[in-house]
Amino acid sequence: MTTDITYPTQQDLVTNTGTNPISTTLVNRMYRDSVTRARPVGNGHQDPDHADQQHKIITNLVHNHNMEREGWWRKMSATVALLRHANSIIDQAESKIRAQQERIFMLEDLATADDLTGLKNRRGFFEAFERELDLCNRGKSNGGLLVMIDLDNFKTTNDTHGHLAGDACLRLVGRTLQNEIRAMDTAARMGGDEFILLLSNTTRDDATARAQTIAARLNNLSLAWYGDLIPIRASVGLKNFGAGDQIDLIIRDADARMYQTKAARSRSLSYPVHSTSVPDPANR
């Protein structure tokens, strides 16, 4: 008695092994080999033993390829998981780097800022002046004007109203100066009651006019302090700067002019304490 065995078709095998190209190629090859080795005996029927053997081979083949497909997906899943984990580590590292950079910027700002007024401190001013002179020397800036400012009778304010009132006066002056300059300019507190402005990339006439306006603003300031009105007055000295200048010489000249103004104010009764006059900067 002979038995007809129904084999899975080649398309069935390919479907069961998925879309893995390696598995599909191997199934096609094994299928062709199994069909080639099949030997019909009598009346077109196949030998049952041989057919059973071929059926087992194909069944095992399908099983092995299914296992291969599952293994491939497991490997892919593991790879994707590792990539996601790596991306998570990279994101965390980048976040830490950004936080560190922000902290560095904050510390740099603190190192160049005056904690009482919020203006640049002495270090911040010199860094800004060096950058501006470098621009002048490279033809990137037209030069500008240095404005030295010293408050008049500030010691009297401290002695009469106390150091807290003196600190409030300094903060008021700092806010006023910051509001009167452009973003490209620099306002700094050099120490005590001494301030300095760097008016960058401007002409002599424009800078002098702006300095007059700032002097007028300062000499009309008053601080309301527990029922008292404390007047704020300032003496100003100017000095132009440009390509080839040296920082220390520019500051020395502006400082000298500022003290000339202060001396004139203290000597002359006809020179009003609220005067907005400033000495003309030296010709270049």
- Most confident of the following: 59-63, 93-97, 279-283: 93-97
DSSP string, 143-178: -EEEEEEEETTHHHHHHHH-HHHHHHHHHHHHHHHH
What is the pLDDT at residue 83?
85
284 in any annotated domain: no
pTM recorded for the entire structure: 0.63
Number of domains in the chain: 2
| Residue 224 shares a structural domain with residue 160 | yes
Between 111 and 113, the more confident residue is 113
pLDDT band at 111 (very low <50, low <70, confident <90, very high): confident
What is the pLDDT at residue 153?
87
Tokens coding 107 = 């510390």
Question: Which of residues 111, 140, 175 is at a domain's end?
Answer: 111
C-alpha distances in Å from residue 166, one per residue of 19, 194, 255, 269, 273: 83, 13, 22, 26, 19
Does an H or E element contain 92, and which?
A: helix 48-111
CATH of the domain at 241: 3.30.70.270
| Residue 216 shares a structural domain with residue 105 | no
Torsion over CA: 268, 272, 274, 278 (sign): negative
pLDDT beyond 50 at 284: no
Between 268 and 88, the more confident residue is 88
190 in any annotated domain: yes
| Residue 151 shares a structural domain with residue 83 | no
What is the pLDDT at residue 24?
58
3-state secondary structure of 96: helix
171 in any annotated domain: yes
Between 2 and 23, the more confident residue is 23
| Residue 237 shares a structural domain with residue 151 | yes
**Lowest mean pLDDT segment, chosen from 2-11, 52-61, 132-141, 216-225:** 2-11
279 in any annotated domain: no
pLDDT band at 273 (very low <50, low <70, confident <90, very high): very low
Does an H or E element contain 24, and which?
A: helix 21-37
pLDDT beyond 60 at 135: yes
Between 91 and 121, the more confident residue is 121
Q: What mean pLDDT do residues 162-182 have?
A: 96
Residue 198's domain spans which residues? 122-267
272 in any annotated domain: no
Do residues 144 and 184 make contact, with C-beta atoms less than 8 angstroms apart?
no
Q: To the nearest whole number, what is the mean pLDDT of the chain?
A: 81
| Residue 96 shares a structural domain with residue 8 | yes
Per-residue pLDDT tens for 80-106? 888 888 888 898 888 888 888 887 777
Do residues 57 and 34 make contact, with C-beta atoms less than 8 angstroms apart?
yes
pLDDT band at 216 (very low <50, low <70, confident <90, very high): very high
